[in-house]
Amino acid sequence: MRNFLQVMVDAIALGSLLALVALAIGLVFGVMRLINFAQGDYITIGAYALVVPAASLTPTLLIGALPIPLMVAGVLLVVVMLALATERVAFRPLRDSDPATLLISSFAVSYFLQHMIMLVHTGRPKSIGIGQALTTPIEVLGLRVPGIQVVTMGVTAVLLIALVLFLKRTPMGIQMRAAAENFQMARLLGVPANRVIAMAFVISGLLGGTVSLLLIVQTGTLDIRMGLMPVIFAFFATVIGGMGSLVGAALGGFLVGVSSVLLQSYLPEGLRPFRDAFVFGLVIVILLVRPKGLIVIGAARERV
Amino acid sequence: MLDISELTVRYGKLTALDQVDIRVAGGEAVFVVGPNGAGKSTLLKTISGLLRPASGGIGFEGSDIAGVAPEKLCQRGLALVPEGRHIFRTLTVEENLLVGMMIRRDKAAAKQDLERILQTFPILRDRFRGVAGNLSGGEQQQLAIARALLQRPRLLMIDEPSLGLAPLVIDQVYASLKDLNAAGLTLLVVEQSTARVLDLATRVYVLRSGKVVLSDSAEALATGNAMEEAYFGYAGRESA
C-alpha cells in the first residue's frame, strides 16, 4: 500500500507538470487554433536563462545566481518576453492562415530557437545546481517525498486556482474564454483580438517559465531538448482532454502523467523500455472511444 | 444611415455579391430576402468587417467602413447577430451578456440597459446563472439579440432570426424585433423565408445569385406577388 501511495505521489507530480504545459498549449490553441510546439523551447530557454550564455560545459550562473524571488521573476520575465516576441513576429502575421500553416510556423520557431541555443551554448548538456535543497526527501504522512515533488504539486494547485479565478472572475478572463470558444463572434462583440491573443501568450510564458524552474530543479541538467518530451506528452494531453477545453487540457495532463508513472512502475520488467508506446497506445484507445476528447466544447445538441 | 454602393465580394473566383446597392435610413426595418446561396450572409459579414469587399463602398453614418475590423465597428454602433446565433455555449447567460457589455464605457448606463433587457427577455433572468448551451433554440436567439442590444447599437443586423425555430418562438422573436424597431432601433434583417417579412419590414430587397433583383417599400409589396416572383426568379424589376 505504501509503495502504491509512493508511486501515486510520483504520478501526480508528473501529471501536475504536464498539466501546466498542456494548459499553456490549450490556452493558445483556444484563441488562435495554433498548436504551439515552440512551447517546449520556451521551457528550454527559460532554463538556459539561469546561466551565462557561453559554450563552457561548467556554466556560470546568471539569473540563477539571484535570490530566489528575483530568480523566479527573472526566468518568468524572459519566457514571457520570448513568448510575446514569437507571437508578434511569427504567429500574428499568420493569424488568418489555416491551422496547418500555423503548426508549420510553430515548428519553424521551435527549430530556430533550438539552433539559437545550440549556437550559444553548444548542444552538449550542462550540469547546474539550482534548488538542490529541494531534492532531499521529506517525510509526508509516512511517505518519503522529494521536496521538489511537493513544490510541483503545490505550485500547480496554486496556478490552476489562479488561472480559474482569472478566467472566471476577470473581464479579460471571460473575454479569453469567449474568444477560445468562438473567436469570430468575440471579435464581433468588440473583444480586442490582439490583446486577448497576447494575454494567452503571456500566460503560456508564465506557465512555461514555471515548468523551466521545476524541471531544472528536478533534473539538474540543461539540455536543448529538455522541453521536447513535456510538450509532446502535453500535446497528447490536450488532444485526449479535448482540443479547446482548458479543463480537458489539465485533466489530460494529469491522466498522461499518472498513466506514464503507473506503467513505469507496474509494467513487467521487460516491457518497461516501451512505456511510452503504451502511453501513446492509451491515447489512441481514448480517441477511438471519444474522438473529440474527454471534454467536448460546443457539443450541446442544437435545440429549437 | 447605411449606404452600400456597388458592393462586390468574391470567394476566390466565385462572385458572392455583384454590384449590390442597399440603403438603410435611420429607424427603418430593412429586410434582405433571397434563396440559399443568394449572398445574404456574405452581405452581413462584409458590412460587419468579417469579409473584405473586392470593390464598392460601405458607408455608415457618413464614413466608409469597408474592411474595418469587426471589433472596431461594434464601437461605432453596428451590431450583428449572425446566423446560428453563436452564443458562447460554455459561458453562463450572465457571462454572455457581460461580453456584450464590455465595449461600453458608460458602465452605469450599461447596467441599467441590462436590467431593461432582462425585463424584455425575462427568460434570460430566470436562466441568468445557467450555462448558455443548455438554453433552447428560441432562448438562445433571445440571448444573442440581448447580447447585441447591450452594445447599444444604432444599427442591429440579424442573420436569419427565424432559422431553426418553432413557429411560436418565431412569433416571439419577431414581436421583440417589432418592439425594438418601434422604440427607434434601425434593423437590417436577412431572411430566407418571406413568410413574415411584411409583418415587420419597412423596405425589402430581394437578392438572387449575388444581385439585387428587387427593392421596394413593404407597403408597395403588400399587394401583388412581386416579392415572390423576384425571389423565385419569375421576373426581375428594380424600383425605388
Q: Per-residue pLDDT tens for A235-288?
A: 999 988 888 788 888 999 999 999 999 999 999 988 999 999 998 898 899 889
Side-chain half-sphere CA neighbours of B222 within 13 A: 10
* Prediction ipTM score: 0.83
Does pLDDT of A302 surpass 60?
no
- B219 lies in some domain: yes
pLDDT at A204: 96
Largest CA distance in chain B: 53
- B170 lies in some domain: no
* Average confidence (pLDDT) over A22-50: 93
pLDDT at A303: 40
Last residue in a domain, options B153, B168, B203? B153
Rounded Cα distance between B31 and A24, Å, is 45
Does pLDDT of B141 surpass 80?
yes
- B215 lies in some domain: yes
Counted across chains A and B, CB pairs separated by less than 8 A come out at: 84
Strands B29-33 and B186-191: parallel
Contact list, A174 vs chain B (CB under 8 Å): 91, 95, 98-99
Q: How far apart are the CA of B146 and the nearest CA of chain A, in angstroms?
A: 12
Does pLDDT of A39 surpass 60?
yes
Does pLDDT of B76 surpass 80?
yes
pLDDT at B36: 85
Asked whether the beta carbons of residue A304 and residue B71 sit closer than 8 angstroms, the reply is no
Rounded Cα distance between B86 and B135, Å, is 12
Rounded Cα distance between B157 and A104, Å, is 38
pLDDT over 70 for what percent of chain B?
Answer: 97
Per the prediction, chain A carries an average pLDDT of 89
- B173 lies in some domain: no
- B174 lies in some domain: no
* Average confidence (pLDDT) over B14-37: 90
* Average confidence (pLDDT) over B83-98: 90
* Average confidence (pLDDT) over A224-245: 89
- B169 lies in some domain: no
* Average confidence (pLDDT) over A41-62: 92
Does pLDDT of A116 surpass 90?
yes
Does pLDDT of A185 surpass 50?
yes
The dihedrals phi and psi of A221, each to the nearest 5 degrees, come to -130, 135
- B109 lies in some domain: yes
Does pLDDT of B240 surpass 80?
no
For residue B74, give the nearest of A175, A188, A302 by CB distance: A188
Do B18 and B71 have their domain in common?
Answer: yes
Do B61 and B113 have their domain in common?
Answer: no
Strands B203-208 and B29-33: parallel
For residue B147, give the nearest of A177, A187, A189 by CB distance: A189
- Into how many domains does chain B fold? 2
pLDDT at B239: 46
Judge whether A186 is closer than 8 Å to chain B, CB to CB: yes
Do B50 and B117 have their domain in common?
Answer: no
Rounded Cα distance between B28 and B201, Å, is 8
pLDDT at A300: 40
Contact list, A192 vs chain B (CB under 8 Å): 71
Which carries the bigger pLDDT value, residue A37 or residue A297? A37
Confidence grade of residue B235 (pLDDT, cut at 50, 70, 90): low
* First vs last C-alpha separation in chain B: 17
Task: Tell me the residue range of the domain where B98 lies.
Answer: 93-153
Does pLDDT of A77 surpass 80?
yes
Asked whether the beta carbons of residue B88 and residue A182 sit closer than 8 angstroms, the reply is yes
pLDDT at A234: 92
For residue A181, give the nearest of B90, B102, B169 by CB distance: B90
Confidence grade of residue A297 (pLDDT, cut at 50, 70, 90): low
pLDDT at A301: 40
Do B7 and B66 have their domain in common?
Answer: yes
* Average confidence (pLDDT) over A86-97: 91
Rounded Cα distance between B186 and B183, Å, is 9
Do B58 and B99 have their domain in common?
Answer: no
Judge whether A191 is closer than 8 Å to chain B, CB to CB: yes
Does pLDDT of B166 surpass 80?
no
Confidence grade of residue A83 (pLDDT, cut at 50, 70, 90): very high
Last residue in a domain, options B153, B179, B201? B153
pLDDT at A78: 97
Residue ranges of domains in chain A: 2-225
Asked whether the beta carbons of residue A174 and residue B165 sit closer than 8 angstroms, the reply is no
- B171 lies in some domain: no
- Residues found in chain A: 304
Q: pTM higher than 0.95 for the full model?
A: no
Confidence grade of residue B234 (pLDDT, cut at 50, 70, 90): low
Which carries the bigger pLDDT value, residue A303 or residue A192? A192
* Average confidence (pLDDT) over B190-209: 85
